[in-house]
Amino acid sequence: MESRNPAPELSHKRIIEAVDKQMTAKGLQKVEGGKSDLLVVYEAGAKERVSVQGYDYGYGYRRFGGGMVHYDTYSYTDATLTVSLVDAPKKALVWRGTASDTLSDSPEKNQKKLSKATEKLFKKYPPK
């Protein structure tokens, strides 16, 4: 039996919806299955990061001498979304935008971050 993680499929749907919303706001119309002038391609990735911070609790005159050092470790995930618009007949890149943010443990917060990120990303479209 094959095990499958539904998260990538769900993320895919959310990204498509967020990009579609911004493209529609820019006055572009989505074409399903026909000839289109513009192709939309996205790349999404996430990278686990670890941050270690040390705190020195020195003692003695002017903090010279032995002391304890305490370390805090934080794990977080950075996500990046790149959207490329390609002139379909010419097969040439027209525009590319990138957005990055730190993911949350909450799917609702991540959905809001995705919406804000795509909105910010498409503020630079169309290119001047």
Question: What ranges do the domains of the chain cover?
Answer: 7-25+36-49+78-124
User: What does pTM read for this prediction?
Assistant: 0.75
Percent of the chain beyond pLDDT 90? 53
Q: Is the pLDDT of residue 112 over 90?
A: yes
The residue count of the chain comes to: 128
The pLDDT, as a whole number, for residue 4 is 39
Q: Which of 109, 40, 39 is nearest to 79 (CA)?
A: 109
The pLDDT, as a whole number, for residue 63 is 54
Cβ distance 73 to 50 under 8 Å? yes
> Which CATH code for domain 7-25+36-49+78-124?
3.30.160.40
Burial of 41 (0-12, 13-18, 19+ CB in 10 A): exposed
Q: Per the structure block, which two tokens stand in for 105? A: 């443990």
pLDDT in tens, 34-72: 788 999 999 998 899 998 888 776 655 555 555 677 788
The pLDDT, as a whole number, for residue 94 is 94
pLDDT in tens, 67-100: 677 788 989 899 999 999 999 999 999 999 999 9
Q: In what order do the strands lie in the sheet with 38-58?
A: 38-58, 67-87, 92-102
The pLDDT, as a whole number, for residue 67 is 62
